[in-house]
Structure 1
């Protein structure tokens, strides 16, 4: 991933936090038919490996599970907060006119050799962990045990598991950290004025980054 120094994220805690907050990833592998990509939620197990291990499942009918070369590196792409940015928010544009539109975003590329499996009990554990993780925010979380076991068993037969021990990882936050502070402040104000939850999320992240960029007196 092309990452200028100003946008590079090396703090593993920040990278992991983004992966947990935005778990829907794109898993890219190489098959004899060429590159194949699947969009799926991936759970991060930080206790396994130097960078953690990604865990999820795909449809049994998905050829990615059968045709991917297990000896080659795969890529899991996570996309964090993102937004279009208009030049009208830059004070410098008002002064010089020298500004163009851009896109702000956070992205993570996690690499490793994937393994696919179909052991029923292992799959049940994964589905249970994924469910518990994503249901935790609800007042009355749904649990695997809420459905008939025979029904869950039939659903498990339709999927296979995937694990990706991360061997290298890249983090990027492109929020114009290399631009004048006044322009960044203008973008934050512009995003907040839209009253859009997604735009506000970017503004909040930028505010957090700004606190680290601004020297303390």
Structure 2
């Protein structure tokens, strides 16, 4: 991933925070037809002395299930939005400004491991449902599903674990602009009135607050 130095983000709390907020990842691997992409919701877990690991599952027929042992690249796409040069106070003075696009992404690289062991799948699905059901009024639990039906399910899904070698972020959040232009960008995003722009503004402020801490 192309990484200008002013957009590099390596602070673990921000990287794992983005993964937690935007867990649907694009997983890239080298398959029979060349580079293949798959979308998977993944959770990050800490592993002492390493960048951690990612866990999830996929359908058995998915070609990614045949990539056990391969190195993969995983992209987590955070907030993004269009940025108008009209939001920059500096434009009124110099007119040296063009439109751009701000965004925050995290790239994880590591080795893929696939498994079908029912006990591990049970632990995995329990972990996933606990995380993703947390916001429900009455969280669904794996134990609510009939045991015989789960046994059938386990025959057609594959658990995945990605042992990470690296975790890096590219947070293009106007860091290369003067402070007044950053403030103008935040105001413009807030005034846009859409959730996408508001989410990006939130991350711009979150990143700036972490820098000042």
TM-score interval (norm. to shorter): over 0.9
SS in 2 for 1:2: coil
1:25 Cα shift? 0.5
Q: CA RMSD in A?
A: 1.8
Distance 2:18 2:143 in 1: 30
Tell me how far apart the structure 2 counterparts of residues 208 and 171 of structure 1 sit (CA, whole Å).
14
Say if 2:17 is the partner of 1:17.
Answer: yes
TM-score in terms of structure 1 length: 0.91
Deviations 1:82-132 (A, max 9, x none): 111112211222222221111111111111111111112211211111011
Quote the Cα distance in structure 1 between the aligned partners of 2:205 and 2:80.
14
2:83 paired with 1:85: yes
Separation in 1, partners of 2:95, 2:36: 43
Determine helix, strand or coil for the equivalent of 2:187.
helix
For 2:206 and 2:122, locate their aligned partners in 1 and report how far apart those are by CA, in whole Å.
Answer: 39
Specify the alignment match of 1:106 in structure 2.
104
State the match for 1:40 in structure 2. Answer: 40
Secondary structure of the residue aligned to 2:75 is strand
Between the aligned partners of 1:197 and 1:48, the Cα distance in structure 2 is 36
**Residue 186 of structure 1: aligned partner:** 184
Are residues 194 and 185 of structure 1, via their aligned partners in 2, closer, same or farther at CA, if it must alter by over 3 Å? same
Give the match for residue 54 of structure 1: 54
Which runs of no fewer than 5 residues in structure 1 stay unpaired? none
TM-score, normalising length: structure 2: 0.92
For 1:99-138, list aligned pairs within 5 A: 99-138=97-136
Answer whether contact 1:48 1:165 (CA < 8 A) is retained: no
Residue correspondences, number: 213
In structure 1, which of residues 192, 208, 214 is the aligned counterpart of residue 206 of structure 2?
Answer: 208
Q: 1:211 to 1:161 in 2, by over 3 A?
A: closer
Q: 1:94 to 1:212 in 2, by over 3 A?
A: farther
Counterpart for residue 71 of structure 2: 73
CA spacing shift, 1:212–1:112, aligned 2, 3 Å: closer
Contact 1:9 1:170 in 2 (8 A): yes
Q: Deviations over 1:188-215 (max 9, x none)?
A: 001111222221121122223344667x
* Equivalent residue, structure 2, for 1:162: 160
In 1: Cα distance, 2:206 partner to 2:13 partner: 15
Q: Which runs of 5+ in 2 are unaligned?
A: none
User: 2: distance between equivalents of 1:22 and 1:48?
Assistant: 23
